[in-house]
Amino acid sequence: MTTESREQRIFLALADPTRRRLLEMLSGGGRKTAGELAQEMPITRQGVSKHLQVLAGAELVQVQKSGRERYYSFEPESFEEAVHWVTAVHDQWDKRLQALTHFLAEEENKTNGGN
């Protein structure tokens, strides 16, 4: 059995557009049940519940049980891990592209005789 890292679980959870939509719905604050979320989605409550389980496994949502209901809320701290990783990769590629742009400008300058 493969054990996924937390980072892998986060990005696998974010890969699905339905789960991203659920996170958008929860990111406004407050708590909602799977039934409340399903009312705003084109899938069944059971489908929403399965997506929420994946989000909870990636620690992108918190689950609080109250009686028979489970309430879901957005977990911004875990989401920040994904943002941090994407920002680091973006910065790395931005530096590389800037270096390439500088190199190409120098080559063009050499080709044009330094004018």
pLDDT digits (tens, 9 = 90+) for 78-95: 888 888 888 988 999 999
Residue 54 resides in a domain: yes
Is residue 10, in this structure, part of any structural domain at all?
yes
Kindly indicate the confidence band of residue 37, based on its pLDDT and cuts at 50, 70 and 90. Answer: very high
Residue 35: pLDDT over 90: yes
**What is the reported pLDDT for 15?**
95
Q: Is residue 60 part of a domain?
A: yes
Which helix (H) or strand (E) segment is 60 a member of? none
Q: Summarize pLDDT for 52-79 with one digit per residue, the tens.
A: 999 999 999 999 999 999 999 999 888 8
Is 98 inside a domain boundary? no
Based on the structure, what is the number of domains in the chain?
1
Residue 39's CATH number: 1.10.10.10
CB 33 within 8 A of CB 44: no
Q: Provide the pLDDT for residue 85.
A: 83
Band (3; pLDDT cuts 50, 70, 90): low
Provide the pLDDT for residue 112: 84
Confidence (pLDDT) at 96: 93
Q: Which domain holds residue 27?
A: 6-76
Q: Flag whether 55 is in a domain.
A: yes
Whether 50 maps to a domain, the answer reads yes
pLDDT at res. 114: 64
